[in-house]
Amino acid sequence: MKILGISGSASRYSSNYYLLKAIQSYAEGEHAMSVYDLLPNFELFTPDRLKNGVPQHIQIFKNQVLDADAIIICTPEYTHNIPAVLKNMIEWCTASGEFAHKRILPITFTPIAPRGEFAMSSLLMSLQTMDAKVVSQLPLYKTDVDIEHEQIILPEDIRDIIGAALELF
């Protein structure tokens, strides 16, 4: 199965990116997974920009979404919401329908519980609007994993949870 991981962080190499890379390593051999981390490069969505055509790098991203069998979106929570770069990506994809009927696993990855609840709620509302098929939702916390030199080590219990979530795809 082809899985596209999308880091919703405004920081290109954030802990959300490294979590997706850890999931990619874990899924290796069973699934082909790539991680997209360039949302901060997207121009701000406006209807006028859309009338002028979708920029090439955004169209390439949209094609990656269409080509994927499933999507994992991993996001932090900023001011009780999803980051603006993730919301902007959603805006670029809403009318064109790339996420329609696409199997999605949303993950919030934040420092400690209960942070992430508002971001998850916001993301789920947006995914519902785009007619995506949310297979589950997974709140994870930095206290759940080991972080060593910008690499995330998934403990066995977290690997089991992620493995069960991937089986839902």
The pLDDT of residue 13: 87
pLDDT band at 150 (very low <50, low <70, confident <90, very high): confident
Burial 76-109 (b: 16+ CB within 10 A, else e): bbbeeebbebbbbbbbbbbeeebbeebbbbbbbb
The pLDDT of residue 149: 82
**Domain encompassing residue 48:** 2-167
The pLDDT of residue 142: 93
Residue 78 gets which letter from DSSP? B
Q: Nearest to residue 4, comparing CAs of 87, 64, 83?
A: 64
pTM of the model: 0.95
Residue 128 confidence (pLDDT) above 90: yes
pLDDT, mean of residues 109-124: 95
Q: How many domains does the chain have?
A: 1
Residue 59: Cβ within 10 Å count: 13
The enclosing domain of 54 has a CATH number of 3.40.50.360
